[in-house]
Amino acid sequence: MSYSDCLSDLLCGEESSDIFSGESPGCSTGLESHDFVEESSIASFIEDERNFVPGFDYLSRFQSQSLDASAREESVAWILKVQAYHGFQPLTAYLSVNYLDRFFYSRRLPQTDGWPWQLLSVACLSLAAKMEEPLVPSLLDLQVEGAKYIFEPRTIRRMELLVLSVLDWRLRSITPFSFTGFFACKLDPTGAYIGFLISRATEIILSNIKEASFLEYWPSSIAAAAILCAANDIPNLPLFNPEHAESWCDGLSKDKIISCYRLMQDLVLDNSRRKSTKVLLPQLRVTIRARMRSSGSDSSSSSSTSSYKRRKLNNCFWVHDDKGNSE
């Protein structure tokens, strides 16, 4: 077979007129950056997604503490840090965690001081980066952002082969990002807010990926719930009943979508409260320090009372001081 024959086999069979017709297959929104696919393709994703998730009892193993949920959470947190450090796509981070969960469901890691989790995390991230990123850092450059152990490249490559073997080389996983564009079209047929819906849903999905509770849900339910949560941030968008989300495509589960949506809402609200608390604490410390300085400038007749107040303020609030000063 000639070189030209080999090359021709790699080319797509579409006519050029079909490729450049300008028609969007799933939703005519004018957003060329997102691949909106046909409903039949989405239905096939829903049918096949069960093949790319851990077994149904994976979550119960964490709940019964037969598996270490804190170790998984720590590994996922590290993957997200490296994803942000190198500017990887959100899909790369999600695939990394997907590989990690599917591997860990089938194989137990040695109960040691944590290095097996680190090695597995590096291997899964490396494989996901090779699948999705145009430029992949070296194996040594992947081991950043507080990596507790540094492994030689040959050790990581051996772990990659083990992961590939356990996953049966099925790395092109179906993820929530396979559905978000299509579901955004369904929620907003006008296309006015689709870009925001997809972007916000992506943030919500990644921010909750550490939570073991979401292992109960398949990618389609997570995507639908994330789009519904994202819609809550758009005041001008008409209200949509989450119970009707199952009508977006055949095969969706209303109960799973509603359950995932409620869990996601609770975590989104909780994260918002934590962010607001982090903003308020520095303001509180500044106010306290200002009052202390003011109290120090009072007349000498009230110096003993002021000193007592300063000690009380220190004892109550200085535990949050950035410099860690305390009496």
Per-domain residue ranges of the chain: 52-167, 176-274
* Of 46-60, 188-202, 261-275, 278-292, the least confident: 278-292
In this structure, the number of other CB atoms found within 10 A of the CB of residue 178 comes to 22
pLDDT digits (tens, 9 = 90+) for 216-247: 999 999 999 999 999 999 988 887 888 889 89
pTM over 0.75: no
State the average pLDDT over residues 210-216: 91
Interval 53-80 mean pLDDT? 90
The whole-number pLDDT of residue 282 equals 53
Q: Amino acid letter at 268?
A: V
Q: Taking all residues of the chain, what is their mean pLDDT, rounded to a whole number?
A: 78
Beta-carbon contacts of 55 under 8 Å, excluding residues fewer than 6 positions away, are: 105
Closest CA to 126 of 87, 168, 95: 95
Q: What percent of the chain has pLDDT over 70?
A: 71
In the prediction, which pLDDT does 274 show?
66
* Domain 52-167 CATH class label: mainly alpha
pLDDT (0 to 100) of residue 273: 65
Query: What is the sign of the dihedral through the CA atoms of 208, 211, 214 and 219?
Result: positive
For the segment 306-315, the average pLDDT, to the nearest whole number, is 38
Alpha helix segments (H runs only) across the chain = 3-10, 16-19, 39-48, 58-63, 69-86, 90-106, 115-132, 139-142, 153-166, 180-187, 194-207, 219-231, 254-296, 303-317
- pLDDT given at position 10: 36
Q: What is the rounded CA–CA span in Å between residue 200 and residue 94?
A: 15
Measured between alpha carbons, how far is 9 from 272 in angstroms, rounded to an integer? 51
For residues 145-151, average pLDDT: 87
